[in-house]
Structures are given as C-alpha cells and as structure tokens.
C-alpha cells in the first residue's frame, strides 16, 4: 500500500510528519512538499494538511482514498470553499468537527486530537536555567488568511500595557515576532515601546531557557514552552478576540481573559503539561483512522 503525505506550509508538515515517522517502516510512505511542485502523484491513500492557500483542496493528485487533516485554527482557510471532496476529514477537537458538519452536509468527520510536537516530546531534555528574567510574548502572524482579529494591533498593545503594569519585579519583557509578522506591525510596536526587548536572532531554545513565563495568541510556542518546563498561557484580555480561540478545547489549555488572573499567573506561575499524553493519543488515533479507511 502506498501512502502519500502532502503538505505546503510548516504547520501542515509539523502535524503530518509524526504520522509518517510512525508508519514509514511498515508501509511505502512519502512526505511530499506541494510548494512549487507541479508533479502529479499517485497513491492508495493521500493525506493532506490544510494550508492557508487551500492548495490541498484543489489537488490533482490521483489518490484512491483521500484524507484531510485540519488543525486548531481554521481561520479563513475554508472561506469560499463550498464542498470538500475527501473520503475522511480528521480534526483536532469537537468544536472543529461541529463547525465542519454544519458547513458541509454528509461529510465524514472524525475527532482525533492534535498531532503536533512529536519531535519536541521525543527529544525532550530539561532546559532549566537559573537566569530566568524574561516575560516573553510570542506574537502571531498578522495574516489576513488567518484570524482577522490578529490584524488589530490594539489587542497586542493592550496585553503589553497590562503586563508592564503588573510586572512589579521588573522582569525584562521580550517581544518575539512570528516569522510572518509584517514589517508594518513590527515598526508600530517598536515605536510605541522603545524600551522593551526585541530579539529574533537568539533561538527559541535560548529564549525558553531564560523565560520565567511565556504568553501568546494561539501560538504553538505555548506547547513548546510547556515541554521545556516554562509556564505558559494564551491570552484574551477582556475577550477582545471573539473568534480566535473558537476551535481550541478550553479544557486542554490555560486561557487568561482578565487582568486579575494575569497578575496571579505572572506572580505565581503554574506549569501544566498534561497535553503530552493527549498528543500521543492523537497520533495513535490518526493511524487507526487511516487503516479503517483501507
């Protein structure tokens, strides 16, 4: 049996590669990068990760069976898509499943969990460091193809202002820009906060070694922080984001929506990495669904 895993962006790759790594010794498997790739592929099962440019939905590859995997943030990736021609759609949680069932009739959708972070967990080594002076904010991309609310710079300003007010120990506030953060957003933040620390040169590993806590807006650095024993939370102060966290399972993440809880978290950080077990289960669920389709 020939199984092809098709991806276009890093996020899709990060979700599909753990499945590939777990079955490649038993089956004829290949990871295929669709970026700038005009070749037509043939497989018994084609497994696609949904990217922002929707290329997987319109693929001309010749697969006997097709599976689409959709991670947490659907964003605008399914706007103007009126049907999904897949034998099976695998999703991260029930919220995503319910959204798809409502949007597309007679679609075969199964919840399997989040398959990301396999290599991080597998290669985990404690990175404890006594010099923990950063309160690190990981920004998400201000990308019109993702959640439109991320384009509102005032939401970032509000979080930074709140942390500055709470930061009584004078920890260094570090802003980490996403690789797809626009130059316009970078310049606006640097202009408004010239005394904050901006560094996108040192590695994420080094940042986590020196971070007391991390905060973010739906970014995968939340999970990477927990793996490295750094307390982390997602933020939505005063619920300024109305849709950003729609497809997250709120029982599996720490989401802070008010300044009082944010102050508690900054003053007494708590670490919860129970997601590791659910991640491993998601990989097994994904593999089981593949072979139920054969």
CA distance linking residue 87 with residue 93, whole number of Å:
19
Alpha-carbon gap, residue 52 to 143, rounded angstroms: 10
If one counts the domains in the chain, the total is: 2
Domain annotation covers residue 182:
yes
Query: Do 107 and 214 have their domain in common?
Result: no
Is residue 152 in a domain? yes
Select from 71, 55, 41 the least CA-distant residue to 8.
55
Question: What is the side-by-side strand order in the sheet with 42-49?
Answer: 28-33, 2-7, 42-49, 62-70, 88-91, 109-111
pLDDT in tens, the chain (294 residues): 999 999 988 878 888 988 998 899 888 999 999 988 889 999 999 999 988 778 888 888 999 999 999 886 666 778 888 889 999 999 988 888 988 998 898 899 999 988 876 655 555 555 555 567 889 999 887 776 666 777 777 888 888 899 988 887 778 889 998 887 888 888 888 999 888 888 777 888 888 888 999 999 888 888 888 878 889 999 999 888 887 887 777 777 889 999 999 999 998 888 776 667 777 888 889 999 998 887
Q: Are residues 100 and 139 in the same domain?
A: no
Q: What is the rounded distance in angstroms from the CA atom of residue 103 to the CA atom of residue 83?
A: 9
CATH number at residue 82: 3.40.50
167 within some domain:
yes
Residue 117 lies in a domain: no
| One domain for residues 106 and 170 | no
CATH at residue 188: 3.40.50.2000
Residue 212 lies in a domain: yes
In a domain, 118, yes or no: no
Element (H, E) at 201: none
Residue 100 placed within a domain: yes
Q: Which domain holds residue 73?
A: 2-111
Query: Which structure tokens are listed for 266?
Result: 């900054």
Same domain, 144 and 240: yes
Per DSSP, 258 falls in state S
Q: Are residues 103 and 143 in the same domain?
A: no
Tell me, what's the pLDDT at 122? 59
- On whether residue 179 sits in a domain, the answer given is yes
Distances 219 to 37, 119, 192, 215, 225 between C-alpha atoms, Å: 28, 17, 23, 9, 11
> Which pLDDT value is given to residue 20?
92
Residues 99, 138, single domain; the answer is: no
Q: 279 with 114: CB under 8 angstroms?
A: yes
Clarify whether residues 147 and 91 are in a common domain: no
For residues 90 and 148, membership in a common domain is answered with no
The rounded distance, in Å, linking the Cα atoms of 36 and 42 is: 18
């Amino acid at each position: 049996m020939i199984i092809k895993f098709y991806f276009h962006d890093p996020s899709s790759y990060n979700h599909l590669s753990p499945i590939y790594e777990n079955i490649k010794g038993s089956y004829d498997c290949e990871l295929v990068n669709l970026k700038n790739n005009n070749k037509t592929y043939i497989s018994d099962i084609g497994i696609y990760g949904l990217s922002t440019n929707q290329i997987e939905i319109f693929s001309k590859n010749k697969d006997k069976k097709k599976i689409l995997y959709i991670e947490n943030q659907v964003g605008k990736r399914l706007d103007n898509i009126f049907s999904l021609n897949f034998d099976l759609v695998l999703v991260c949680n029930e919220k995503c499943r319910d959204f798809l069932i409502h949007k597309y009739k007679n679609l075969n959708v199964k919840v399997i969990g989040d398959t990301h972070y396999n290599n991080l967990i597998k290669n985990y080594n404690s990175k404890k460091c006594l010099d923990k002076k950063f309160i690190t904010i990981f920004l998400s991309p201000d990308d019109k193809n993702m959640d439109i609310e991320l384009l509102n710079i005032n939401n970032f300003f509000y979080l930074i202002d709140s942390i500055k007010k709470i930061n009584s120990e004078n920890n260094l506030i570090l802003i980490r820009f996403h690789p797809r953060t626009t130059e316009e957003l970078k310049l606006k933040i640097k202009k408004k906060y010239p005394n904050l620390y901006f560094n996108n040169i040192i590695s994420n590993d080094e940042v986590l070694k020196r971070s007391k806590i991390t905060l973010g807006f739906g970014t995968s650095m939340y999970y990477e922080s927990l793996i490295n024993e750094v307390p982390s939370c997602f933020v939505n102060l005063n619920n300024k984001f109305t849709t950003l966290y729609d497809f997250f399972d709120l029982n599996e993440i720490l989401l802070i929506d008010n300044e009082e809880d944010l102050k508690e978290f900054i003053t007494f950080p708590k670490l919860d990495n129970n997601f590791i077990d659910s991640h491993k289960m998601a990989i097994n669920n994904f593999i089981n669904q593949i072979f139920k389709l054969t």
